[in-house]
Amino acid sequence: MPEKPVTLRDIWQARKRITSISEKTPLIYSPGLSEIAGTSVHLKLENLNVGGSFKIRGAANKILHLTEEERKCGVTTFSTGNFGMSVAYIARKLDIHATICISNRVPKAKVETLKRSGAHIEIYGDAQDDAEKRSYQLEQEKGLTVIHPFDDPDVIAGQGTIGLELLDELPEIDTVIGGLSGGGLHSGLGIALKSTDPEIQVIGLSTAKGAAMYESIKQGKPVSIQENNTLADSLLGGIGINNRYTFNMVQQYVDQIVLLTEEEFAQGIGFMLSKHRMVIEGAAASGIGAILNHQIPLGSHVVVIISGNSVDMPVILDVAERYTCNKGEGLL
């Protein structure tokens, strides 16, 4: 069991703490998606956050919790891209040295953004587990503080602030959908939403090409699995064999986990580009892809978390070519 459970009070405190770094993001109604779904669907635009994803929230809450001595020594994290960009942004803003560890599997667009961030970048191994190993080596070698991208109470509380904003703007919400990887987002959402109403459905979507949390839940314990290239690269990465928090929280708070195909991620990207004129990454498109293909049960007031916007331009060009309104694609 967690040594430090995350409470609703923690999330409210995180909301107050991070306001200097992370602003409230828009919640918009999607007419096209609502028509297809036959119910009211809103989009929570975390892609408009500073750093381009929801992960700025958890990173900010954690780093703002550090002692002065920890800040002086510097920080390190391991990431599939988005969390690293958030840590790099905050570290630069607060004049903290940061080392971001990533694997060779991180897409070029994210690597280039990280290289421009001012942080030191280390590319190590072929999976997030390898990058994690390097981060903890740096902790031992240089005294850096590891900022865990999801399995940390402060990070979970920061991500949970999304749930508070949803309740502010759409108190009738009964279903929330988003990409599920390490579980920090869904753990925070689960606490915020189900503390208000346990009947609110929290649904996680993962890639069939490396769904570590899904496989861990199936086997009843954290397990490692092989990663494969996917449009939803942000959903890759292990949950840690010694996972302390998010495995238990996902078991407790997530009502359903669904695996999606590459085609469904692509359709979600294409829909957002065509109908809302926004570029989003594959993980962010998971909820849209699931709804387009009727993969999940929906309530009367549904919110899809649009989690981030970091995607290689060739991917967008390919999706734009395949999924446009004038090509007769039935879903779009």
Tokens describing residue 213: 């949390």
Domains of the chain: 8-54+152-326 (3.40.50.1100), 56-146 (3.40.50.1100)
Which residues, 6+ apart, have CB-to-CB distance to 127 below 8 Å? 103, 105, 226, 227, 236, 237, 238
Q: Sign of the C-alpha dihedral, residues 254, 234, 86, 63?
A: positive
51: left (phi over 0), alpha (psi -120 to 50) or beta: left
User: Cα torsion for 133, 82, 230, 105, to the nearest 10°?
Assistant: -40
Helix ranges (H only) for 75-183 are 82-93, 108-115, 128-142, 153-169
Q: What is the pLDDT of residue 329?
A: 46
Q: Dump pLDDT digits (tens) for 214-257.
A: 999 999 999 988 888 899 988 988 899 999 999 999 999 999 99
**Bridge partners of residue 40, in order along the sequence:** 301
Angle, helices 55-63/82-93, rounded to nearest 10 degrees: 40
User: Cα torsion for 58, 64, 67, 71, to the nearest 10°?
Assistant: 90
CA distance 5 to 212: 23
Q: What is the pLDDT of residue 324?
A: 59
Burial of 299 (0-12, 13-18, 19+ CB in 10 A): middle
**Bridge partners of residue 175, in order along the sequence:** 201, 302
Q: What is the pLDDT of residue 1?
A: 44
The separation between the first and the last C-alpha atoms of the chain, rounded to the nearest angstrom, is 45
CA distance 29 to 44: 9
Q: What is the pLDDT of residue 4?
A: 56
Q: Dump pLDDT digits (tens) for 32-85.
A: 999 999 999 999 999 999 889 999 999 999 999 999 999 999 999 998 788 999
Per the document, the length of the chain is 332
pLDDT lower than 50: segments of the chain: 1-2, 325-331
Q: Is the pTM for the entire model greater than 0.75?
A: yes
Q: What is the pLDDT of residue 40?
A: 98
